[in-house]
Amino acid sequence: MKKDKERRSSLGDRALLALWQARLDKAKTAYESVLARMDRRDAMYRGSREIDRGANSAFAGRVKKAGVTRNIVAEIIEAQVSSDIPSPKVAPRYRRDEARAALIENMLRGEIDRLPFETLNDQDERTTPIQGGDLFLVEWDSGAHTHTTAGGLSVTLIHPKQFIPQPGVSEIRDMDYCFLQLAQTKAYIRAKYGADVAAEGEERPESRAFDAETVDDVVTQNIAYFRGPSGGIGRVSWVNDVLLEYMEDYQARRVKRCVKCGQPMGDTCAYCGGRKYDETVDEGQTLEQDLPLGKGVLPALRMQEQVTLDDQGNALRESEAVRTVVPYYKPGVYPIVMRRNVSVFGQFLGDSDVDKIADQQNEINKIGTKISEKLMMGGSVVTLPQGKHIRRTDEEFKVLEIKDPAEKALVDVLTLQGDISKDMAYQESTYQAARNLIGVTDSFQGRRDTTATSGKAKEFAAAQAAGRLESKRTMKNAAYAELFHVMFKFMLAYADEPRPVVTRAADGGADYTVFDRWDFLEVDEAGEPYWNDEFLFSVDQTAPLAGNREGMWQETRMNLKEGCFGNPQELDTLILFWQKMDLLHYPGAKETLTQLEQRKAQAAPPQQNTPLGGMEGGNGHALSPL
């Protein structure tokens, strides 16, 4: 924090704020065309009735609204929505780290269950194809306390219109700085930063919602993440002209120290009762002499302390040994992870599905309106002799008085109806063109497919459609792999207390262990402590099948019939089968497994201590058989 204060004092808060405001304005100007398209994409997904005359039309601009619209954008987007949440897969770089890699996997699975990933994935599955990408923000929530732990991971979804990239840079990891514009309440700003923004207005309401209006109790918080002079990740935040915070290394550990006595404190100093404090960066944690030696690396550190020499070359006593300071781990990465729809060279966001089929949606709006007008404006026309009128009543039969049969011949009904067959054919052709652009087929949508005449043919057609969409799944898996990596780094940096982790045992039961960041502390050949974060993060490709319980039940039954577990008639084989079914949460599997185990226990022969040679007598000697 000392460097941060020196930086602020050299520039001044006003000059520092002006610097970052200018950078944000420059970035927004360069990104304005992309932001403008985002509102149009959202409007088309919601079923916009706007009709664009087209570039070659004599009438420029949108001059008409569709009377009826078929929302093919929403139909095609919804056809691609997947509820599968990728499961983490962690591989070690060294053989000695295999157990730790498995521990990271189980910890990340537990965090996925704890955090609202179902809701995040549901929103992300729609935002990504609409806008071409979406972003995850990983933070450490210091207010998430339990009885035994302080702080916890927080993962939120950031809409692309809330993120402003550095101009000319397409990858977040390569940016010198980037911006978030988030809607926050004035009470939240005051509680977290101690700044009074009651007189401030909302700067950018469109970052909060589609077609949002300005709200009095909400302001736009601008947050900039940047690479500090020392290589760390910095953060600066402000509302309009009010500077909230500036930290050149916000991921470093900070401690509040009392101004009076210099001791660490919370809201009030426990030593002198003071309330004023200075926030300083804490470089590392000192290992005390009475620290438990439960971790493999700590004995080595303790051994270094015990052989410390004084100025005269004499070994110090253990109580006088210099304590080892272990530096705190810092993630050192931007806390923002982006998922692209389809990668495009030199473009920050991926390719948008809405942009691809925007022309087809516009044509369908025009054709649908034309068809509706033809149907609605058509009707029946009655021809009557001049001067004659039909009584307009609600009676079943109408009366028309005529003089002679010649006038009767003049009474006729003409049906006027436009031909819509060609319009319908063109509309269907346009719809098929839109689906072909994205790669969605009837089989993929679960609709009736006349081209597939058998079950295998339908499976093949669906697989072909899935193959065309494989790129999107690959980009999703890549984003989640990076997200898991960032989550692990934050846990390694800030999870001071051991966190409970639950895993599945081989017999279907639960094993309880803990994720302790001290398990990742090691000592190099020079005797210096360091944190081992050398793990490879990816996505378990078998997770979708494992998540399909009905499919797994069917596979397990097939394995039983084919003898993969052993002879299906044997009791041990059935016990193994029902252990697997219980592991897959099959209804009633636990009760069936218990009954089979009881049956096996009852069928087991009683233990006999009789020697093979005969019966045992009262004195312990074997008796010869009669």
- For residue 445, pLDDT over 70 is answered with no
- For residue 285, pLDDT over 90 is answered with no
User: Rounded to two decimals, what is the model's pTM?
Assistant: 0.78
Residue 276 in tokens: 């004023």
Mean pLDDT for the chain? 81
- 74-127 tens-digit pLDDT: 999 998 898 889 999 999 999 999 999 999 999 999 999 999 999 999 999 999
Residue 571 in tokens: 């009791």
- 486-540 tens-digit pLDDT: 999 999 999 989 999 988 765 556 788 999 999 999 888 887 888 999 999 999 8
pLDDT value of position 62: 53
- 239-281 tens-digit pLDDT: 999 999 999 999 998 887 888 887 777 767 778 877 777 777 8
- For residue 446, pLDDT over 80 is answered with no
- 368-395 tens-digit pLDDT: 888 888 888 777 778 888 777 777 777 7
| 56: confidence class by pLDDT, cuts 50, 70, 90 | low
Is residue 276 within 8 Å of 305, Cβ to Cβ? no
Query: 589: which residues sit within 8 A by CB, 6+ positions away?
Result: 578, 581, 582
pLDDT value of position 319: 43
- What would the mean pLDDT of 565-582 be, rounded to a whole number? 85
Region label for 186, one of left (φ > 0), alpha (ψ between -120 and 50) or beta (otherwise):
alpha
- What would the mean pLDDT of 65-69 be, rounded to a whole number? 80
- What would the mean pLDDT of 572-577 be, rounded to a whole number? 86
Nearest Cα neighbor of 362 from 10, 49, 20, 7 is 49
CA atoms of 304 and 324, how far apart (whole Å): 8
- 412-442 tens-digit pLDDT: 888 777 788 888 898 899 999 988 888 887 6
